[in-house]
Amino acid sequence: MNGPDPRGSLRRRDAPVWQQAAEGIGLVIVLSAAVTAVGGLLALAVSLLF
């Protein structure tokens, strides 16, 4: 990855589109799962304080 290259192509020619879209969605899901899990643990920890 080299920063936002407006001329760069979105597509990889060697992989089907659904696979590329799945990889894109995977990034968001992994990120949200991490945020939600940490948030849950945090809520548990804070609830023990009060």
Partner 1 sequence: MLLRPNRAEVFVVLGTVGKAVLVLGLATFGLAAIALLAGDVDSAAALAIGASLGVGAGTWTRMHTGTRRRLTWTTGVVAATTSWVACTLMASVPLHLSGHYASYPDAVFEALSGLTTTGLTLVQDIDHMAPAMALYRHVLELSGALATVVVGLTLLTAATATSSSLDPSDVRDERIMPSVRRMWRLVGEVAATTVGVGLVVMSAALLVAGVRGWDVLVHGVSLTISAATTGGFALTSHSVGFYHSALVEIVLIPLMLAGAVSFTLHRAAWRGERWPLTRELEVRVLLASMFAIAVIVMLGLGRSGATGDVVPLFRRGLFTTIAAHTTTGLHNVSPRLLATDWGLLAPAGLVAAMAVGGMTGSTAGGLKALRVGLIGKGLAADVRRVLLPEAAVVVATFTWGRRRKLEHGHVRSSATLLLILLVASLGAATAVLFLDSTVNLTEALFMAISAASNSGQTVGTLTPSDPVALKAGYGLLMLLGRLEWIAVFATIGFLYASLRGRQ
CA distance 13 to 4: 19
Q: Does 15 bind partner 1 (CB under 8 A)?
A: yes
CA distance 32 to 50: 27
Provide the mask over 30-49, with x wherever binding to partner 1 is found by CB under 8 A and - wherever it is not: -xx-xxx-xxx-xxx-xx-x
Shortest CB 15 distance to partner 1, Å: 6
Say how far residue 14 (Cα) sits from the centre of its chain.
Answer: 22
Q: Does 29 bind partner 1 (CB under 8 A)?
A: yes
CA angle in degrees (0–180, nearest 5) for 14-18-19:
55
**Interface contacts to partner 1, rule CB under 8 A:** 1-4, 6-12, 15, 19-21, 23-29, 31-32, 34-36, 38-40, 42-44, 46-47, 49-50
